[in-house]
Amino acid sequence: MKWNDTLTGIDRRALVSGLALLPVAEALPSTPALAQVVQADPLASWNDGPAKQTIVDFVHATTDQGSPKFVPPEDRIATFDQDGTLWVEHPIYSQVMYCLDRVPAVVELKPALKKFESFKTVLSGDREAIAKLSLHELEQILFTTLTGMSVEAFVAEASKWLETAKHPRWKRLYTELTYQPMLEVLQYFRENGYRTYIVTGGGQDFVRVYSQRVYGIPPEQVVGTAGGTKFIRDTDGKPFLMKEPKLLLNDDKAGKPEGIHLMIGRRPRAAFGNSVGDRDMLEYTSAGDGARLMMLVLHDDAQREYAYGPTRGLPDTRVGTFTPELDAEAKKNGWTVISMKDDWKRIFSLD
């Protein structure tokens, strides 16, 4: 296996440092309740306030034929970061959890991997040690667990994991930890003729496994960090696509507008993010003519979710960094910051 050295966009600390923070056993009661509210208000989980009003005003202005800000239907593209914008990203990205969880099975298939320090460390289960893996070692883990199999085999593996793996704090499936207010935004935009796209630093193939079911977003509207595939034949001569350890698109920071151009070919009218990784996507969106909406989710609710920043007195945890510079840029450019604490009545779709 050849390691690709171009995966420079991944911040090692951002990926695994959260591991050390995992609570050993935290048993918050899970209180699922059916969300069968008659939605006269399409944004029912939002408190009245400037964030909600900004969204409603934008959708009204861009879909009203008489408005000077009217946007023709074909041009209605809205892009959404995933981790920290549509679902929980703390204490560690769920896809990295997936890769770490897959290590034992991969090592069983390829025992030679046990010789690598990185694999030894993951197999040891020592969270402190895993959190200290180098970027290069982490790349080994990611490429080995995400590639070297057919596209179909990957989908089967990832689906199985998603059906059983649970978040350490809430003891719930990761796919249940989506933000209800953002699901409402996705739906509200679609009902108003917008095509909603996920534009994520996460793996494109990974997110496509559940995007339709969880977000109502089909695979072709998921733009993410993408590895190459190779069209080859199996021993019976049947052709298939093999996932290769080769990075085609690092869909983070500048890679987001670049990925949007590659995969969509249109500039978004609205873009939602939560960190410096989304800054370039929001700048690209805002640099277009006419009505544009740029919004950032601020994680300031330690009680119901997490509080991290490091802006506005929030701790710097490196995952999903909302920096003071990003905060200042948002203020300067009139981007709207969504306070999870103040703007959201509820957090999760199953609350």
Angle at Cα 199 formed by Cα 35 and Cα 65, nearest 5°?
75
User: Does 329 engage in binding with a second copy (CB under 8 A)?
Assistant: no
Among residues 254, 256, 284, 252, which one has the least CA distance to residue 268? 284
Nearer to a second copy, 179 or 206 (CB): 206
Tokens of 319: 């995952």
Site residues for a second copy, 124-143, by CB under 8 A, read: none
Nearer to a second copy, 166 or 266 (CB): 266
Q: C-beta of 136: minimal distance to a second copy in Å?
A: 24
Q: What angle, 0 to 180 degrees and rounded to 10, lies between the N-to-C axes of helices 50-63 and 180-191?
A: 20
Taking CB under 8 A as the criterion, the residue among 33, 74, 128, 303 binding a second copy is 74
The H or E element that residue 215 is part of is: helix 204-215
Are the CB atoms for 333 and 291 separated by under 8 Å?
Answer: no
C-alpha distances (whole Å) from 215 to each of 42, 69, 197, 267, 283 are 16, 27, 10, 21, 25
User: Does 257 engage in binding with a second copy (CB under 8 A)?
Assistant: yes
Stretch that binds a second copy, among 30-38, 44-52, 137-145, 249-257 (CB under 8 A): 249-257
CA 269 from chain centre, in angstroms, equals 19
C-alpha distances (whole Å) from 77 to each of 172, 209, 270, 338 are 32, 22, 7, 20
Taking CB under 8 A as the criterion, the residue among 60, 136, 261, 304 binding a second copy is 261
User: Does 269 engage in binding with a second copy (CB under 8 A)?
Assistant: no
Taking CB under 8 A as the criterion, the residue among 218, 290, 315, 324 binding a second copy is 218
User: Does 149 engage in binding with a second copy (CB under 8 A)?
Assistant: no
Taking CB under 8 A as the criterion, the residue among 220, 316, 325, 342 binding a second copy is 220
Are the CB atoms for 173 and 166 separated by under 8 Å?
Answer: yes
Stretch that binds a second copy, among 105-113, 137-145, 157-165, 257-265 (CB under 8 A): 257-265
Size of the site for a second copy (CB under 8 A): 35
Euclidean distance between CA atoms 311 and 298, whole angstroms? 9
* 112: three-class secondary structure by DSSP: helix
Binding stretches for a second copy (CB under 8 A): 74, 151, 195, 204-205, 208, 212, 218-220, 222, 226, 228-231, 238-241, 248-249, 254, 257-258, 261-266, 280, 283-284, 287
